[in-house]
Amino acid sequence: MYKYLVILCFLVSLKSQSQSLFKGVGVFGSLTQSAHYYKNLDTDKKSLDTLFKYFYPQTHISKEFFNWGAGVFLELSRNNNVRWQTELEYINKGANEMELTNPYPGDRTGTYSKNKLTYIQWNNYAKFYNPLGFGFWYVMPGIRLEYLFRKSVSVFTPISNNFPTFWFSGDLGLGYEFPLFKKYSAFVEYHWNPDIIPHTHDNTRVRNRTFELRIGMVMRPKKRSIDDCNTPVYKGPAH
């Protein structure tokens, strides 16, 4: 009997701790703007290149690629001003590229094709809260762990078709949250999400850079009032 009482007390303490840590749960949708930065390490060998193996692809920045993302998140903390946000996100990144047809004069196809990379990400942030007006503004430095879910690439395929399945990237976000009704608040965020380490293949290094505009909603636990404690509350004489 004593053993069961100890287990019960332990479970109750875990529940109370999780309730004190829980700050909110939410969803968001986003618009994304991505580009690829190519660095060819053998550019100085162009004059010796007779088989086009050194100067492909060329050093350049792709045209911007616009798409979307969506995710869910959980917010935990013992401190109202500093929080940990962990989230799962489905996001599309990529680039609009023109394929090289002749590396020497730099001839290209003249039309853009999409290199689209779809990721499922586990993102984690430190979230620093500050009051502003009737809401809160916050800064979110963090890191994203990325799983390449699917890809559709047609330009510079020796490089873009060999991006690793698992990767990570840095992130810095700025947001503003404001109350809607009862336990619900809305927020707007803007994220800068660059690759920390480039993808490397043969003579080429590639970095992805994504800007992300998020709009979402968060549900926060109701603040406890003084009447929520276990002390009796006088409700007037009985009738």
Query: Three-state SS for 133?
Result: coil
Q: Does residue 123 sit within a domain?
A: yes
Instruction: Give residue 134's pLDDT band: very low, low, confident or very high (50, 70, 90).
Output: confident
Eight-state DSSP code of residue 54? S
Residue 219 covered by a domain: no
- Token pair listed for 44: 């100085």
Is residue 155 assigned to a domain? yes
The residues with which 201 forms a beta bridge, in sequence order, are 204
If you average pLDDT over every residue of the chain, what do you get? 83
3-state helix, strand, coil in the chain (%, to 5): 15, 60, 30
Does residue 9 carry a pLDDT above 80?
no
pLDDT at 44: 64
61 part of a folded domain? yes
Q: Is residue 239 part of a domain?
A: no
- Domain assignment present for 223: no
Q: Is 60 exceeded by the pLDDT of residue 90?
A: yes
Strand partners, 212: 32, 191
Instruction: Report the number of distinct structural domains present in the chain.
Output: 1
Report yes or no on 167 lying in a domain.
yes
* Full domain range(s) for residue 73: 22-80+87-204
Q: What pTM does this model have?
A: 0.80
Cis peptide before 57 (omega within 30 of 0): yes
Question: Sorting pLDDT into bands at 50, 70 and 90, what band is 218?
Answer: very high
Is residue 46 in a domain?
A: yes
